[in-house]
Structure 1
Amino acid sequence: MAIKIVQRHSITPSHAAAESFPLLYFDMVWLHTLPTENLYFYTLKSSQSSFLDNIVPMLKHSLSIALKHFLPLASTIIFPLTSAAMPVSRYTASDSISLTIAASNACFDNLTVNHSKIADEFHQFLPEMPPEVFHSDHIEFKALAIQVTLFPNKGICVGLKHHHAICDAATLFAFLRVWASIHKSNAAEEYSIQDSLPFYGRDSVQDAKELTKSSWNLIKTKKPILSPTVSFPLNKVRATFILTNEQINKLRNSSPGPTSTFVAVSSHLWTCIASSAAAAGEAVPDNEPEYFGSPVDCRARLNPPLPETYFGNCLIFFMANSSHGIIKGRGGFTAAATAISAAIRETVGNERGILDGFENHLKDLSEYEGKRVVLIAGSTRLDPCAADYGWGRAIKYECVHTDYDGAVNLCKGRDGGVEIAMSMTKLKMDAFAHVFHQKLYISSNL
């Protein structure tokens, strides 16, 4: 399976002036996480010559226009090494993003199925981030890189690496939808996307407790993480599990009270991971603590609330807890749903506000290292396949960075329902798959 780099481009935003965007406390907490890595697969029957002559020029042109509206994605992130300065995203006329054009003879059909596939195979479709630049008083690194890979007469893969400190998934998906819309219209309908354009009102973000300053005081002592310290082969497989709307409704009906789609899906996931541990060769005592954590979008929950189109990060984590014996046991689903619902209420419904305790956020998350934790990436409300460049909706989405951090990606299913995407050893994946389907069969017959 070979891939060939055909072209490399530097794309500058169209008619953009220099600007700076301060990183706020919501952004800073992501400086010490790896860049996200995402792949979007589209069906497209195109020869390489037609791709290079007809599609690539418009991809470049539409990308330039889209970046004009999402300028921080083309910026350089400045991480200061002096105590007086604060981190900032800065765009100047010399800034651009790297766009790599590639071609591959890999089996497109095999890459886009849901069953287990070797995880290593997906990393070649991701772009390389430009290397960081070290100065005496600061470090500079880029926010985004893109690679578009053609599978001749089969399809296209759009691959992105983006540093989470610049924005969250909701913002990134909005950018992709705008880029795709401009491309689909041959740049003729740029102004029809006005309702999708980002809101940059940094002054509107609630910060009465000066959380930006306190967060920076915790973060500035460590350098940002810009690349994974792993080697290949990863010895993992990737697989996607689908929960249909009918299955989700049956799970919700099995819950101890009114339950959201997210809670029902998460409870099923948590119990399946715990229940499959023994078959995967893990000897876990029943009294071993089990944790389940997920980000929550805060845009509508701040005071005052922010619009959905706010550019940047606006997430806070909740963490539910129980024990291995309870979550894997006969009443595991009910226990999981109860614990997750309680953790969400405590975070979102906090009388002192959703930001209560945020200054301890970094310390709190570090306490879970080395413990049995299921961490969620994505959201059941996000639709990563929505961007249509004129080739239809994406037929497959892969959240590749879960190969490193072990998180489980949740998102809207392409054809409805919810997708659960995982990366783990084959032994663990096989054990999980067996329990996943077995528990669904039982719930459907209750």
Structure 2
Amino acid sequence: MAVKIIESYSVSPPSGTAAEQTFHLLHFDMIWLDFVLTETLYFYPLKCSQSHFLDTIIGNLKHSLSLTLKHFLPLSSKIIFPLSSAATPVSRYTAGDSISLTIATCDNDFSHVVSNRPKAADGLHHLVPQMPAAAYSSDEIKFSPLAIQLTLLPNQGICIGFTHHHSICDATNLSAFVHTWASINKSNVINQLPFYGRDSVQDSTKLTISYWNQFKTIRPTVSLTLPLPSDKVRATFHLTDSQIDKLKTLVIIKKPSIGRPSTFVVVCAYLWSCLAKSAGEVVENGDETEYLSSPVNCRQRLDPPLPENYFGNCLIHMIAVSSHGILKGDEGFAAAAEAVAAAVKSVQKRTSVLEYFERRSEIISELKGKRLVRVAGSSKLDEYGADYGWGRAVKYECIHTDFHGAVNICKARQGGIELGFSMSKAKMDSFVDVFNKYLYINSNL
């Protein structure tokens, strides 16, 4: 994939914006300081010449982006990581701060890039921007939380790529930002705006100090430094609403004590059991413990609850437990559903959030070196709904998961749920066979 950089801009909020905004990173945010930068891509089909792209579309997008940033100031701020003081990390916007906007063209075939079929994973990473260089001093590190790249595939389509520092906010907020930018660009309509109140976050003072004492000795991730995944292929798998309903019916038959499972439960369970069945490697101990971990939005689980438009991170990790032998067996899917449902139930209590953060270091340590399936994203997020005036996106990719092997889930464009991930070609071929085989078997319910 040949990507050519055409221009780079710095886009600031419009004049009249607040001169300064500061908020402290809480414990919810600090745990992401050293996490790999997130990379997401949105593809839109559009027969557009390069001249029209540069002369008209870019101008409109820059203007609407500036207007959007007025309401999402932390995304154009700087995160300040203190090195020599008792202060804790903050996001601070001051007048003149901006985000980096890169303009590029690409000669790849659009239909290939947006297909669900396995394709080289490393090629997609050229469609996301590099973060601006961090500023280092003896007292602090200052770095940007967001960068954007607009790439034209001439007369085929446009890709909008985001590189995002997870410590500034979670996927709920980033998706809201994308939808708001699209809405302003299309019709100058502003969707629900973010809520910045942080004083009411449950136990934030005690936990923030505790977590800062743990994280102040690390250094935050400020750029993309990992080698590209040249040994992997990336593919997307679709579970339709009808298939999901049949999987739910199977769980009700096999595990009636669960009741009717959620879409999230059956999607994770089907993924987990298929991965175990397709693993291929010989596991001497069939009872070897396996885990499935997924972030869970806990805004409504705090006391008092936070609104869904709360800006920042508000996630804990749900961890389901089973064994390799059970998951790969004939009853593996039903057993996986039972394990995931139990894990979801365990984090639904308000006290679970506090308990998780009090024990997080211990929990993470216990998972090191274990068989673990990581799930990212959310079955409730609509990543296809943002319309800039060209219609809905035809493809969404969450590609930073290439670096840590996670599976991203989100609502599919045509209904149902999508699962996107990468692995070696041999493992992917095996997974495809298992995934399709068991969907066929379950379709006969």
Structure 2 length normalisation: TM-score? 0.95
Matched position secondary structure for 2:418: strand
Match of 1:254 in 2: 250
Structure-to-structure mapping, 1:325-336, within 5 angstroms: 325-336=325-336
Q: Say which of 38, 41, 54 aligns to 2:40.
A: 38
Structure-to-structure mapping, 1:166-181, within 5 angstroms: 166-181=168-183
Match of 2:285 in 1: 285
CA 1:233–1:291: 2 relative to 1, 3 Å: closer
Matched position secondary structure for 2:194: coil
Cα distance in 2 for partners of 1:286, 1:379 equals: 30
Shift of 1:354: 3.0
Shift of 1:371: 1.6
**2:240 paired with 1:241:** no
Match of 2:10 in 1: 10
Match of 2:201 in 1: 205
Shift of 1:307: 1.1
Comparing 138-147 with 15-24, which one deviates more in the overlay?
15-24
Matched position secondary structure for 2:218: coil
Matched position secondary structure for 2:168: coil
Cα distance in 2 for partners of 1:284, 1:134 equals: 50
Contact 1:33/1:225 (<8 A) preserved: yes
Contact 2:320/2:340 (<8 A) preserved: yes
Match of 2:300 in 1: 300
Shift of 1:3: 1.4
Alignment RMSD: 1.4
CA 1:366–1:38: 2 relative to 1, 3 Å: farther
Structure 1 segments unaligned to the other structure (5+ residues): none
Q: Say which of 97, 100, 103 aligns to 2:99.
A: 97
Shift of 1:368: 1.6
Cα distance in 1 for partners of 2:125, 2:433 equals: 27
Q: Which amino acid aligns with 2:441?
A: I
**CA deviation map 1:83-125 (0-9, x unaligned):** 5110000111231100000011111110000010100110111
Shift of 1:143: 0.3
Structure-to-structure mapping, 1:129-168, within 5 angstroms: 129-168=131-170
Match of 2:349 in 1: 349
Cα distance in 2 for partners of 1:408, 1:333 equals: 17
Contact 1:116/1:238 (<8 A) preserved: yes
Shift of 1:215: 1.4
Contact 1:29/1:362 (<8 A) preserved: no
Cα distance in 1 for partners of 2:412, 2:194 equals: 25
Cα distance in 1 for partners of 2:307, 2:402 equals: 32
Cα distance in 1 for partners of 2:369, 2:426 equals: 20
Cα distance in 2 for partners of 1:232, 1:339 equals: 34
Cα distance in 1 for partners of 2:341, 2:65 equals: 41
Match of 2:31 in 1: 29
Shift of 1:181: 0.8
Q: Which amino acid aligns with 2:310?
A: Y
**CA deviation map 1:334-357 (0-9, x unaligned):** 11111111111112136x343223
Comparing 308-317 with 15-24, which one deviates more in the overlay?
15-24
**2:226 paired with 1:226:** no
Q: Which amino acid aligns with 1:207?
A: D
Contact 1:75/1:143 (<8 A) preserved: yes
CA 1:284–1:143: 2 relative to 1, 3 Å: farther
Q: Say which of 51, 71, 74 aligns to 2:73.
A: 71
Shift of 1:360: 2.3
Cα distance in 1 for partners of 2:368, 2:141 equals: 27
Cα distance in 1 for partners of 2:268, 2:81 equals: 36
Question: How many residues end up aligned between the 2 structures?
Answer: 437
Shift of 1:226: 2.8
Shift of 1:370: 2.3
Cα distance in 1 for partners of 2:353, 2:331 equals: 30
Match of 1:410 in 2: 409
**2:122 paired with 1:120:** yes
Contact 2:292/2:321 (<8 A) preserved: yes
**CA deviation map 1:282-327 (0-9, x unaligned):** 5463122100010110111211111111111111101111110011
Match of 2:384 in 1: 385
**2:440 paired with 1:444:** no
Contact 1:214/1:359 (<8 A) preserved: no
Comparing 198-207 with 167-176, which one deviates more in the overlay?
198-207
Cα distance in 1 for partners of 2:296, 2:57 equals: 37
Contact 2:316/2:356 (<8 A) preserved: no
**CA deviation map 1:372-419 (0-9, x unaligned):** 101111000001111100010100001010110110000000010000
CA 1:65–1:276: 2 relative to 1, 3 Å: same
Cα distance in 1 for partners of 2:193, 2:163 equals: 21
Cα distance in 1 for partners of 2:290, 2:214 equals: 27
Structure-to-structure mapping, 1:100-111, within 5 angstroms: 100-111=102-113
Q: Say which of 173, 177, 183 aligns to 2:185.
A: 183
Cα distance in 2 for partners of 1:285, 1:228 equals: 38
**2:386 paired with 1:371:** no
CA 1:362–1:384: 2 relative to 1, 3 Å: farther
**CA deviation map 1:235-271 (0-9, x unaligned):** 1000000000000000011111320000000000000
Comparing 91-100 with 400-409, which one deviates more in the overlay?
91-100
**CA deviation map 1:49-103 (0-9, x unaligned):** 0111110011101000000100000010011113511000011123110000001
Q: Which amino acid aligns with 2:210?
A: S
Contact 2:301/2:349 (<8 A) preserved: no
Contact 1:98/1:146 (<8 A) preserved: yes
Comparing 334-343 with 71-80, which one deviates more in the overlay?
334-343
Comparing 63-72 with 254-263, which one deviates more in the overlay?
254-263
Q: Which amino acid aligns with 1:275?
A: K
Percent identity of the aligned residues?
57
Comparing 362-371 with 385-394, which one deviates more in the overlay?
362-371
CA 1:208–1:173: 2 relative to 1, 3 Å: closer
Q: Which amino acid aligns with 1:105?
A: D
Structure 2 segments unaligned to the other structure (5+ residues): none
